[in-house]
Amino acid sequence: MESGNRLNAARPIAGGYMYPELMIIPMREELVRAGIEETRTAEDVDAALAQPGTTLLVVNSICGCAAGKMRPGVRLALGNTVNQPDRKITVFAGQDREATEKARGYFEGHPPTSPAVAILRDGKLVYLMQRFVIEQATAQQIAGELVRAFDEFCAKAPA
């Protein structure tokens, strides 16, 4: 096995990946198929959040509450609202460490959790759903709360 093959081997946490990349591809793709762009470097995160307007930022995770609640809830919400964020990005906790740390840096005053779902306006946090909320909700409840947040923070002013 080649040490540079990301699909077959996990690197130690200090070196980057917590899990074999092959194992998390479906977890990444679930959000990408929903129209959410992966940001895998700190520079990608900064570039996305430097743009004006609203950004949905999803801190993805391998955990069960991400799989059974957060990712399905985000997908349901995006499919059931007219008030879409201007941009939708994701980082993967435990995999894209620098990107995740950079993203969490925008959540001033809040402890890091994964999974998490945030809305930022002009690079400033306006909404954050943390793990403790996700763990206690169903995918449908998460979707309903996110649709409410999209309506509040992402609605376009009438022309």
| Residue 157, pLDDT score | 76
Q: What's the CATH architecture for 13-152?
A: 3-Layer(aba) Sandwich (3.40)
pLDDT above 60: residue 158: yes
pTM of the model: 0.87
For residue 1, CA distances in Å to 24, 95, 147 come to 19, 20, 46
**Mean pLDDT across the chain:** 89
User: What's the pLDDT tens digit per position in 124-151?
Assistant: 999 999 999 999 999 999 999 999 999 9
Enzyme catalytic residues: 63, 65
Percentage of the chain modeled with pLDDT above 90? 77
User: Residue 28 — very low, low, confident or very high, per pLDDT cuts 50/70/90?
Assistant: very high
Q: Where are the domains of the chain?
A: 13-152
SS3 content of the chain, % helix, strand, coil (to 5): 45, 15, 40
